Amino acid sequence: MKKIQTLPFLAIILLIIGVGSTIYVNSQKNDSTSIKINNEEYTVSQISQMVEEKSIETEIGFPLDQLIIEVGIASPEIQEYTIVGSDGYQKTVTWENMQAGVLTKGRESVFPDLPKAYRIKEIVEIKVEQ
């Protein structure tokens, strides 16, 4: 009989944990409409003026390698690039990956040579690492 009485209590605790987790994740989300590349802010509109669009697979976007060159990264081929989403999710890629990838107008990375885990949505930053 005591088991039946504790079930509603456990359900309420799980519900509170779930709501709390959702609130925490959403509070950590960055809602910026710009992308920080090497500590400089760029809008998608500015990026579209810097590089021409490119099609890969079923996506159209801006070539990430050309974008990195346009923003003035020295020796881009020896760098690594950490792409960060608004929710904090991030992945690090090499120059070879950047040469194959694009940044869509929806601020999403697409890399045909990498698993879907590298498809970062709502990108807010591309960090240049050595």
Domain co-membership, 91 together with 63: yes
Question: Domain of 112: which CATH number?
Answer: 3.90.420.10
CA dihedral 71, 72, 76, 80 (to 10 degrees): -50
The stretch 106-124 carries a mean pLDDT of 94
> How far is residue 5's CA from residue 77's CA, in Å, rounded to a whole number?
63
Helix (H, G, I), strand (E, B) or coil at 89: coil
Domain co-membership, 17 together with 38: no
- pLDDT tens digits for 28-83? 555 567 889 888 898 888 888 889 988 887 789 999 999 999 999 999 999 999 99
Counting every residue written for the chain, the total comes to: 130
Structural domain harbouring 16: 1-30
Is the entire prediction scored with pTM above 0.85? no
